[in-house]
Structure 1
């Protein structure tokens, strides 16, 4: 799953990098920071127990991504990384992040809603939770422990 997300990030980022006027010398580093921001955003949501935000987002809640707190957190983190680590100007970083993150999320949602293998919510949780996520997935899909068990499993993942 993470490999599939990484490939998607690379595809969308390369287009946005050229449109934003970012040097090709920085393309690899910008793509890495973009991926880190998105993946860490998902991990933070899962480990923080905010599955509602994640399921809402992947369930098609993309009508106004810029008002979604998880998406805004990803954008803020990416802007910070691009300016502090790579020395990009704040305006360029904001324009790039504000374009690339929603583009990637929209692609993820499309793949998830389309039933594409590897892009389902359970795949996402499993990828970020590793082997310890089985109890969480069982709880979310109707296992014995229910939501309380899912929350306990989440606490143990990270």
Structure 2
């Protein structure tokens, strides 16, 4: 689902990066791909760690994007990737990072809220074996109760 949403808004977001931050088309395009990767990995990590409350608050709009520690962590990782992988200067990356991650999280939250998805639905959307990792992690935390 994250891939689908990013693909739907990629042209718009790439254009905004070019106009607002003067990124060339190639870097703007690659920065959106990096944001998608950071968003996916950040949400997967939170799901595996069992922080569904934080994820659901974010996706249901109960907390502002900038006030959410999950998002702040994703932004920090993304800013690092922008500088190390794309060579974007640190000062610019610190402006691009929050803009792109907030933009994508709002789109993702709107889609999830609009579809009325549950926690299990969100785990399924994150894919990549997250469901198995979450259930194993919960089983381990509960002393093997589910084995």
Bucket of the pairwise TM-score, normalised by the shorter protein: 0.7 to 0.9
- Is the CA contact (8 Å cut-off) linking 2:44 and 2:130 kept in structure 1? no
Q: Output aligned runs, 1:1-158, within 5 Å.
A: 1-8=1-8, 10-11=10-11, 13-18=13-18, 19-62=20-63, 64-115=64-115, 121-130=119-128, 133=131, 151-152=138-139
Report Cα offsets for 1:1-38 as digits up to 9, x if no partner. Answer: 24323324624531431221111121232121111110
> Larger deviation: 124-133 or 45-54?
124-133
Q: Distance in 2 between matches of 1:4 and 1:153?
A: 33
Q: Distance in 2 between matches of 1:17 and 1:135?
A: 35
Q: Distance in 2 between matches of 1:135 and 1:38?
A: 18
Q: What stretches of structure 2 of length at least 5 have no aligned partner?
A: 142-147
Question: Tell me, what secondary structure is at the counterpart of 1:111?
Answer: helix
TM-score (norm 1): 0.74
- Is the CA contact (8 Å cut-off) linking 1:9 and 1:31 kept in structure 2? no
Structure 1 residue ranges, 4+ long, deviating more than 3 angstroms after superposition: 119-123, 129-132
Query: What is the count of residue pairs matched by the alignment?
Result: 141
Report Cα offsets for 1:70-99 as digits up to 9, x if no partner. Answer: 010110011000001111011111111111
- Is the CA contact (8 Å cut-off) linking 1:41 and 1:74 kept in structure 2? yes
Q: Aligned in 2, Cα 1:49/1:135: closer, same or farther, shift over 3 Å? A: closer
TM-score (norm 2): 0.79
> Larger deviation: 39-48 or 53-62?
53-62
Question: Tell me, what secondary structure is at the counterpart of 2:50?
Answer: coil
Q: Give the root-mean-square deviation of aligned CA atoms.
A: 3.0
> Larger deviation: 25-34 or 8-17?
8-17
